[in-house]
């Protein structure tokens, strides 16, 4: 057995899977993670506002504003998802 192939097999088994985040490269992960956390925070704030409005503790104007922000965030997420799906389909249509 060739020593180079043995070394390659050992390196392959010890390598980090491509789907896992790279802990050494946290800078770009923060840039990608921020929109998702903002989206989750918007949804969480709207839900809390709706719950407090049900018991009469929130201003109706603040509730409408929170719901409008949530609607805009969801519409934006849907548009981004659609663009990603379109790009993926375009890559699949490329000849090999």
Residue 13 CA, chain-centre distance (Å), reads 28
Where does the pLDDT of residue 80 fall: very low under 50, low under 70, confident under 90, or very high at 90 and above? very high
Q: Give the range with max mean pLDDT: 13-22, 32-41, 60-69, 78-87.
A: 78-87
| Burial class, 58, CB count within 10 angstroms (exposed 0-12 / middle 13-18 / buried 19+) | middle
> pLDDT digits over 39-50, tens only?
999 999 999 999
Distance, in Å, from the CA atom of 87 to the CA atom of 80, rounded to the nearest integer, reads: 11
Comparing CA positions, the residue from 35, 31, 30, 47 lying closest to residue 73 is: 35
Largest distance between two CA atoms of the chain: 76
pTM above 0.85, yes or no: no
For tokens 């981004």, the residue is: 80
């Amino acid at each position: 057995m060739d020593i180079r192939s043995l070394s390659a097999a050992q390196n392959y088994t010890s390598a980090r899977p491509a789907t896992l985040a790279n802990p050494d490269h946290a800078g770009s992960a923060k840039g990608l993670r921020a929109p998702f956390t903002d989206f989750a925070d918007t949804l969480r704030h709207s839900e809390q506002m709706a719950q407090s409005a049900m018991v009469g503790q929130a201003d109706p104007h603040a509730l409408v504003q929170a719901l409008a922000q949530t609607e805009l965030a969801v519409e934006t997420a849907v548009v981004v998802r659609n663009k990603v799906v379109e790009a993926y389909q375009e890559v699949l249509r490329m000849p090999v």
